[in-house]
Amino acid sequence: MADKLVIVESPAKANTIKKFLGGSTKVMASMGHIRDLPKSKLGVDVEHNFEPEYINIRGKGDLIKSLKKEAKSAKKIYIATDPDREGEAIAWHLAYILKDEEKKICRVTFNEITKPAVNKAIKEPREIDMNTVDAQQARRVLDRIVGYKMSPVLWKKVKRGLSAGRVQSVAVKLIVDRETEIEQFVPEEYWNLYADLKDSKSKKEFHAKFYGKDGKKLEVHSQEEVDKILNDIDGAKYIIDEIKKGEKKRTPAPPFTTSTMQQEASRKLGFTLKKTMSVAQGLYEGVKIPEHGTVGLITYMRTDSTRISEVARAAAKTHIENTYGEKYYENRYYRTNKDAQDAHEAIRPTYIDIEPDSVKESLSKDQYKLYKLIYNRFIASQMSQAIYDTMQVNIKANNYDFKASGQTLKFKGFMVLYVEGTDSKEQEEDGTLPDLQEKQEVKLVKLEPKQSFTEPPARYTEASLVKTLEEKGIGRPSTYSPTITTILERRYIQKEQKQLVPTELGKIVNKLLTENFADVVNAEFTAQVESEFDEISEGKLQWKKMIEKFYGPFAIQIEKVEKELEHVELVDEVSDVQCEKCGRMMVYKFGRYGKFLACPGYPECKNAKPIIETIDVPCPKCGATVQVRKTKRGKKYFICENNPASCDYISWNKPKPGEEWNPEDMAEVETKPKAKKKTTTKKKATKRKTTKK
């Protein structure tokens, strides 16, 4: 019989904390949630104060029996689920399951799975925080109401099986709106004028860019304007008019929050949000390391705070001074976003002395990459600024101005270890200018005008979408990954390289929802809801009152939309493709993998075919039409329409007009499904052992 029973969510977490507790302590895993709303119905009694109808999750009966059995024999029960709203709710549901042992139940939390943190938590148990539980209940109930009430509208107007969600619909809208911006964007012409100049003393060349006239900035939009400037400065002397020297400092980025970790792992490691959170979960719950046993390498990975403990700060100081020297250390405090919950620390390594390279052999490749990123980011956040010497030069050519700038890295500071990534294509360049003097003449080597056109806004990537969701207050650290994963799985959006692009289905769903539920699927409403969840967790708002306030107008809108759609008959869009089997004109349908052509004579005629996308560039090998297809994983490739009959052209890269065929560009793409291997089962002869008496 165990004196203590500790319940956590996962077996990995259970294995890690077992070694910190005595032999009389039993550690069990609940395997996540133990109770939830039923999937088969709404599960919320809207007629009786929005009471949730929780049920035990199917398949967890044996686990619940085991938990009850161990709880009955234990003298004390500690529920040590994750230190966030979801973890608090799981703890509450566990307490309900074990209600017969209510007097023995305590709640414990720790931000890191280390011996001091776990033992401290066990010594300082508390009651379950019902304000935090209610904030999670409010989110769960509101999302269930929105999803289960709005989804049938999609079934009636688009197709069955589709679903709508409060946060996911806003994310889809952001991506669709961005795509609309790109499609409607009208490029504007502009010109830059570059001068290659030479210092006669050092013979060193440097670059300057046209700025304006008479000290005022001048934008150039046409060839005629460029020609006038070139004509006005033809034969002009280039005189150094003004030199400004200075110093620039660059500050390190703060330690990771969930959002910034997801963004940086996407930029630097190419990880999806889902992969980042999965790998981080493993690092938090524990990894087996020689001489250390099972160790939780990072603090809790769902956080929007940049705060760090004084113990971690002191450990970082010692490490930096011993590794790089005293001048590389600077004690830093970072301001946390005003909307952050700040319930626990930023994401950081739990043991500063366990450096990434020292445990590389014990980690998977992905674990090592992410641990190194987290480790270096945290250490760099406590290091000195990088310092640049800067020089800005204004050059006169008659009354026209050119500007040149240069910078030299004087002290690397934190950059000796880590530099934050960026979504921008523009990279900061280091460069030095010659030792120039004011009023000095420099020689013109070359003038180069360059025509450019303004570009549309970039499509979202997972990283930039998370950044936007966070800036707009949509969702919380725990919701970013599941939100984007869901809309990808439902094929409302798709990935093209790293960019998020709305599918035809996504555009149709977004149009329907924004036309009928504009108040629900907008960023302002979603951000306001998040603020109300925070108020509930702080005890300032009663959760059922919040749901009641939302539900009244929402129910009226649902009823109105359903009446409007009552007599709406779905009419499929007719294509210009004739069914080769029965002669009818085929119609567009939506399936699991997107749009396709189907015969309207179904079920008499079951003919269906994919919509073949083509490009306006002929096959580089035979001149036929090139088709665009996708692999099972959604990656695009380009293939000749005559492949494999008379042409074997196939490439990952889109062919360019006039491009010659290059056999090295050929892609290895599996275009046909593999034939199933014939399996034969052989009966193994079994010999019966006999023993001589």
* Active-site residue, 375 included: no
**Whole-angstrom Cα distance, residue 172 to residue 154?**
15
pLDDT-derived band at 666, boundaries 50, 70, 90: low
Name the phi and psi angles at 677, rounded to 5. Answer: -70, 140
Question: What was the pLDDT predicted at 594?
Answer: 63
Catalytic member of 78, 238, 300, 388: 300
Find all residues with CB under 8 Å of 310, minimum gap 6, and list them: none
pLDDT-derived band at 573, boundaries 50, 70, 90: confident
Range with top average pLDDT, 173-177, 429-433, 501-505, 640-644 = 173-177
List beta partners, residue 28: 7
Question: What was the pLDDT predicted at 421?
Answer: 79
Q: Collapsing DSSP states into helix, strand and coil, what is residue 321?
A: helix
Q: What is the mean pLDDT of residues 581-610?
A: 84
Q: 371 with 365: CB under 8 angstroms?
A: no
Question: What was the pLDDT predicted at 634?
Answer: 66
Would you say how long the chain is, in residues?
693
Q: 555 with 562: CB under 8 angstroms?
A: no
Q: What is the mean pLDDT of residues 86-103?
A: 88
Structure tokens at 509: 């769903």
Q: What is the mean pLDDT of residues 279-307?
A: 92
Which sign, positive or negative, has the C-alpha torsion 224, 225, 231, 235?
negative
Residue linked to tokens 């960023």: 523
**Whole-angstrom Cα distance, residue 300 to residue 348?**
8
Rounded to 5°, the CA angle 185-186-187 comes to: 110
Q: What is the mean pLDDT of the chain?
A: 89
CA 603 remoteness from chain centre: 43
Check whether 148 has a pLDDT greater than 90.
yes
pLDDT-derived band at 692, boundaries 50, 70, 90: very low
Of the candidates 282, 301, 378, 405, the one whose C-alpha atom is nearest the C-alpha of residue 344 is 301
Which sign, positive or negative, has the C-alpha torsion 582, 586, 590, 592?
positive
Q: Is the peptide bond before 644 cis (omega within 30 degrees of 0)?
A: yes
DSSP 491-559: TSEEEETTEEEE-HHHHHHHHHHHHH-TTTSSHHHHHHHHHHHHHHHTTSS-HHHHHHHHHHHHHHHHH
pLDDT above 90 covers what percent of the chain?
67
